[in-house]
Structure 1
């Protein structure tokens, strides 16, 4: 792995997994310049906002998924023989099924 060099400064939130001896040694061995950051400070990284937004979308997706009635899924499965017949009839090409 190539060291990051002096162009970069790595910022982390001082979470214990980021400050372990193994991580500290790797950062030092690879000459990674680390931004000094107070412990337990708020995380100002924009990715944290992205993760929060993604969690909201996933939660919404889970709620919508739960609303799909099992009979709908059953009808899809029951219709499969007809779909396969159409697929064979159209030699794998798109069809209006």
Structure 2
């Protein structure tokens, strides 16, 4: 839009204005991909079970699982560095061949509390 009017704005000015408006450069969060059918199923579940009493929820067991990398991590990491400092230890992420392995953790909870984690 500015180019159409012949206005030149430096990159540093754009960065400064974005920073002033609390728009800082960060790595994006990872979230499960929810398609429309997933959202509709969740809404159906909430609608069907929203009026249940406490005795119903005492018999429900909620569970979840997570895969944890034993070495390193699966996400991006941003660093701010000077030219020629790319290989300094503070600017690198160590890796091992073949990923270093991972474990799966499983846990559950109910109205009465949480259960112990189970690793496989």
Q: If the TM-score is normalised by the length of the shorter chain, which range does it land in?
A: under 0.3
Higher strand share: 2
